[in-house]
Amino acid sequence: MPVLSLREFIRKIPKAELHIHIEGSFEPEQMFTIAGRNQLTLPFTSVDELKKAYEFNNLQEFLDIYYAGAGVLVTELDFFELTQAYLRKIREENVLHTEIFFDPQTHTERGIAFETVINGIRRALEEENQSSGMSYRIILCFLRHLDEDSAFRMLEMAAPFKEWITGVGLDSSEVSNPPSKFAQVFEKAREEGYLTVAHAGEEGPPAYVREALDLLKVSRIDHGNRSLEDEALVMELAERKIPLTVCPLSNLKLRVVEDMKNHPMKIMLEKGLSATVNSDDPAYFGGYMTENFLAVSTALSLSQAEITQLCVNSFLASFLDSDTKETMIQKVLDFSNTHSFMMDS
């Protein structure tokens, strides 16, 4: 049986990514290239200066820089190249399926047409699917710092592209913008056939997770870390098999956890929660899927069984059909049954 380093085991094991903001995969070098092409300036003079600004004390400090970066994306080619660069990275990590978020209000508010954004993103995903077989879903996120009317207008703009969009989500500044603020637009979205997810319990209290379940009827909770503060909520999430799309490096960089050794991933698994590993905003938080798995596995000494479970969970929690899920899970188990790793190499 091949014995791999932990990094190689993690890189090679089949997996799905379910929590990635495509604008959060915008690498500094590409950001400067695209800004220059569009004759736009960033509030930083160099890649080095920009990277030095990637020190965050909370979600809002990150979001301010994230929106500044996203502001140089203008043409369909920009969105295409952004998505293509992300897909090239995760292809090397044996990500077989990805469900990506995009934030159209960030772009339409600057006068960029919705179709420019989605055409670019989707063309890259389609090309990747044709060439490597990687499958994908697209999830439209409403910005929760904006009002519900703005979300309604976005839903209307998305209507002609409904076939391309599997679900709607909720992101941006969590505290003071509870899921209840968007109950009506989520209801409309569900009536139109969209699945729903929401960021909840990243900085916001467990009550926001409860609202996401009860009012937005979400299929998954994005992050969900603070659910652990409410034992009854944990039991319900476990019983109903509501997945949590957890993002270890994001949690560290945004100070949701102070030290990776205190990350709740192991506790989540022990409590029977369907936790998954994801990158959130990999260009800003220090890495893609491999780095996220490696950081949490090393800090918490996760076993091969636990790492395998996280990869199984990623397919179970996906919006793939049940036959495909089964096929993918078999690939994870086949890999894990025929490989092992040495922890200290």
**Residue whose CB is less far from Zn ion, 76 or 280:** 280
Residues 24-83 that bind ligand HPA (CB under 6 A): 24, 59, 66
78 binds, among Zn ion, ligand HPA, none (CB under 5 to 8 A by kind): none
Are 103 and 141 in contact, with CB atoms under 8 Å apart? yes
Asked about 128 being catalytic, the answer comes back as no
DSSP structure string for 255-315:
TSSSSGGG-THHHHHHTT--EEE--BSHHHHT-SHHHHHHHHHHHHT--HHHHHHHHHHHH
Closest residue to ligand HPA, Cβ-based? Answer: 171
Q: One-letter amino acid identity for 253?
A: K
81/280 with CB nearer ligand HPA:
280
Does position 99 interact with ligand HPA (CB under 6 A)? The reply is no
Q: Are strands 244-246 and 275-277 parallel, antiparallel or unpaired?
A: parallel
Write the DSSP string, 168-180: EEEES--TT--GG
One-letter amino acid for residue 267 of the chain? I
Least distance from C-beta 103 to Zn ion, angstroms?
10
Which residues lie closer than 8 Å to 247 by C-beta, 6 or more apart? 19, 223, 277, 278, 279, 280, 285, 292
Q: Which of 281, 317, 328, 332 binds ligand HPA (CB under 6 A)?
A: 281
With CB under 6 A as the contact rule, the residue among 106, 177, 245, 250 that binds ligand HPA is: 250
Question: Closest CB to ligand HPA among 94 and 245?
Answer: 245
- Report the residue from 15, 97, 199, 210 that binds ligand HPA according to the rule CB under 6 A: 199
Residue (74 or 107) nearer to Zn ion, CB: 107
- Three-state DSSP at 242 gives coil
Which of 23, 128, 174, 202 is catalytic? The answer is 202
User: What are the phi and psi torsion angles at 131 (to 5°)?
Assistant: -85, -40
Task: List residues near Zn ion by CB under 5 A.
Answer: 280
**Interface contacts to ligand HPA, rule CB under 6 A:** 21, 24, 59, 66, 171-172, 199, 202, 250, 280-281
Which residues does the annotation mark as catalytic? 202
